[in-house]
């Protein structure tokens, strides 16, 4: 089974450059969680991954200014695996909506996929 949390929007102060730390930026996150339920038919929230809990976890991590997006995707993926024992694999992608580089058009993104060992 997979759970998708897509186009999550956050405003944060992540980045190496002073403008990013002072002005902030818009970020979008996509998360895909692969998990194997322990029952044939999921009928209760404790038999699945509560995506509200996942969202709250992501929000709390995104609230902490962090210089590198690489650090953020790793923290989010690792914490999802730690908090949710049913998770087999998690994919996290963070897109920075604007770069403070003259003439740069577009966005940049970092992603990670982690598997339970």
SS3 at position 36: coil
Residue 113 forms beta bridges with which residues? Answer: 91
pTM for the full model?
Answer: 0.92
pLDDT value of residue 68: 95
Q: How many residues does the chain have?
A: 117
**Helix, strand, coil shares, percent, the chain, to 5:** 30, 35, 35
Q: What ranges do the domains of the chain cover?
A: 2-115
Q: Is the pLDDT of residue 100 over 80?
A: no
Task: List CB contacts of 103: < 8 A, sequence separation 6 or more.
Answer: none
Structure tokens at 72: 């953020």
Q: Is residue 96 among the annotated active site residues?
A: yes
**2-115 placed in CATH 3.30.1130.10:** yes
Convert the pLDDT of each residue in 11-57 to its tens digit: 999 988 888 889 999 999 999 999 999 999 999 999 999 999 999 99
pLDDT at 95 (0 to 100): 97
Of 21, 22, 38, 96, the active-site residue reads 96
Distance CA 26, CA 109 (A): 12
């Amino acid at each position: 089974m997979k759970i998708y949390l897509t186009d999550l929007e956050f405003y944060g102060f992540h980045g190496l450059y002073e403008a990013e730390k002072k002005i902030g930026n818009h970020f979008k996150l996509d998360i895909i969680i692969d998990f194997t339920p322990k029952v044939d038919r999921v009928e209760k929230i404790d038999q699945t991954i509560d995506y509200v809990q996942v969202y709250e976890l992501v929000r709390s991590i995104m609230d902490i200014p962090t210089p590198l997006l690489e650090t953020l995707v790793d923290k989010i993926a690792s914490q999802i695996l730690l908090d949710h024992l049913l998770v087999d694999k998690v994919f996290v992608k963070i897109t920075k909506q604007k770069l403070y580089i003259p003439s740069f058009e577009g966005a940049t993104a970092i992603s990670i996929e982690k598997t339970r060992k």
